[in-house]
Chain A
């Protein structure tokens, strides 16, 4: 089966510019996650969707970050405007159903964002 797809793989922008990332989860996976991973740190959950509804966005900086999953499949994460500290790898993951007792997350290759 195809894995989680993300694009672009790399993005370089200047501060105050906008950027968007796209994620296509594994077919049939209801739960989709966006993580931010700063170099040398573990992934930090930004937002979690169950189908097209948000179940957790407590760590999403809502003044500049937004995300949507309109049809319960693909998702986009946007940053507007970007700051230097947003430089990180943005990982998308999906799972069958995040509320199951055992539920494995499958990660995409990530988008490496550099803000100059």
Chain B
């Protein structure tokens, strides 16, 4: 089966750096994505890692270690608008097509 683990909630102050971890157990692993979802809103794509290493996109970076089945999302220079839920999602090869599994999400609270 597939499983993803991420912390349920993280709190940080404006301007700080926060790291949200994600560990996964999956067969046919292909890549790890991160999505942001504000309350009442739709998930929006942040990043995707298929290879080991760090991907940087502005204030957000994402890391993957395939050997450790582990990844993280790093948010720098936190802003109040970053308060949202963050989901890691595994892309796995299943049969003739790719499958997607989301974690339960990490609620990030940014305080002034």
Q: How far is the CB of B1 from chain A (nearest CB, A)?
A: 11
**Contacts A55-B96, A101-B50, A102-B50 known; A42 to B105 CB distance under 8 Å?**
yes
Once A41-B104, A101-B50, A102-B48 are accepted as A-B contacts, the answer to whether A56 and B42 lie under 8 Å apart by CB is: no
Range for the number of chain B residues in contact with chain A: 20 to 34
B50 and A42 within 8 A (CB)? no
Does B45 lie within 8 Å of A105, measured CB to CB?
A: yes
In the complex, which range does the number of interface residues on chain A fall in? Answer: 20 to 34
Complex: how many Å from CA A45 to CA B43?
A: 13
Chain A 34-73 per-residue mask, 1 if CB under 8 angstroms from chain B, else 0: 0100001111110010100001100000000000000000
Q: How far is the CB of B87 from chain A (nearest CB, A)?
A: 5
Interface residues of A (CB under 8 A from B): 33, 35, 40-45, 48, 50, 55-56, 91, 93, 98-99, 101-110
